[in-house]
Amino acid sequence: MTKIDKELLQRSNASCELCGNTEQLAAYAVPPVSTPTIDTSIWACKVCTDQITIPETMDVNHWRCLNDSMWSPVPAVQVMAWRLLHRLKAEGWPQDLLDMMYLDEETASWAAATGEGKEDEDTIRHIDSNGATLQTGDSVVLIKDLNVKGANFTAKRGTAVRNISLVQDNAEQIEGRVNGQHIVILTKFVKKT
């Protein structure tokens, strides 16, 4: 065990600084660092480090632990919490935590150093009523009875709309089939399933 490992073990009380797990712990150097130190590393479990390094394996519910770890006094833990919340913010609840989180100027610039949290401002994002990001092919449920103009029927609340498509030039509209009719639906009246 290296000197850094021993110091991280002591600082973390032998638990993951992100989720609190006590098994399969190791030092994780928070990028971008050239030489890991106690100040630029966290003590993390294998579950957390695997999900950090392989974003496709992220389990959204695992990261609810960030509600606690984001308040850590350790800047490296704050940076990782901020980055992970940015990765997950399409889920809705992480954005609430980001709104509460405060990072001093130096820590904020470190957190943003890898480009996490930057979005292409020209990208149109389709968001449902709960704040979840919609994508082509998703299924949604209507949360309100909608009068379909020109088709003489009402799309009832709870109706599932499968395999939606996104209106490319309007973030507030999606398209889908209801009762055999191809219709345009406002995103504020649907929730992703």
pLDDT in tens, 58-89: 899 999 999 999 999 999 999 999 999 999 98
pLDDT category at 120 given cuts 50, 70, 90 is very low
- Domain's final residue, options 114, 137, 155: 114
Rounded to an integer, what distance in angstroms lies between the CA atom of residue 16 and that of residue 45?
Answer: 5
Does residue 59 sit in the same domain as residue 138?
Answer: no
Q: What is the rounded average pLDDT of the residues 158-174? A: 90
H-assigned helices in the chain = 3-11, 46-53, 66-69, 75-88, 93-100, 105-111
Say yes or no: 94 and 65 in one domain. Answer: yes
pLDDT > 50? residue 128: yes
Percent of the chain past pLDDT 90, that is, above it, reads 65
By percentage, how much of the chain surpasses pLDDT 70? 96
Q: Are residues 27 and 109 both part of a single domain?
A: yes
Question: How many structural domains is the chain composed of?
Answer: 2
Query: 13 and 99 share a domain?
Result: yes
Residues 157 and 94 grouped into a single domain? no
| pLDDT at position 121 | 45
* pLDDT of 187: 93
Does 24 fall in a domain? yes
pLDDT higher than 70, residue 180: yes
Residue 97, domain member (yes or no): yes
Same structural domain, 110 and 135 = no
Question: What local confidence, expressed as pLDDT, does residue 117 receive?
Answer: 56
- 119 inside domain: no
Residues 101, 130, single domain; the answer is no
| Residue type, position 48, single letter | C
pLDDT of residue 190: 94
Residues 82 and 29 in one domain: yes
Domain with 48, as residue range(s), is 3-114
Q: Once rounded to an integer, what is the mean pLDDT over residues 102-110?
A: 92
Q: What is the pLDDT of residues 84-105, one digit of tens each?
A: 999 998 888 998 999 899 999 9
